[in-house]
Structure 1
Amino acid sequence: MSIFSIFSKQRTAPAARERLQVLLAHERVSAGSDLVSLLREEILAVIAKHVQVDSERVRVTMDRDEHMSILEIDVEIPLGASVRAA
């Protein structure tokens, strides 16, 4: 690690992906946690850095079976939405 790495632009996607992996692993172990609500709020925060969307237009659901969990994310982005650089 160099001193110049402090000034480099941080990537949000790898950090968000890592958080999702940790949360999903935690969800498999603990019962009764409100994981979907927590994921929805974090996903909204990440999306808000790039484009303005109505929070009512973001749906996060999780389906579980014996062997896996499936996370489904639906985001309605308006055609005229302005994209912001993160």
Structure 2
Amino acid sequence: MALLDYLLGQRKKKSANLAKDRLQILLAHERTESKAPDYLPKMRDEILQVIAKYVEIDQDQLKISIDEENGFEVLELNLVLPEDK
């Protein structure tokens, strides 16, 4: 099978190319995280405190992000609330 791949020009990526691709993915991820405002962690904690007054939640389940849509910054909050008993 390797001979067929070689003859057809389908070669595996070299480790240098793989490392380069992985580094680019890592850098892109770090850049998106660095765009988050400095106040976001404090805001997250305060939002958790307010929600915890009313329902019991797992703090690790809260995800907050700020995205840009149509020229506006959008604060997105994702949290799974417990079912009423």
Q: Taking structure 1 as the reference length, what is the TM-score of the superposition? A: 0.48
Structure showing greater Rg: 2
Structure with higher RCO (Cα < 8 A, 6+ apart): 1
TM-score (norm 2): 0.49
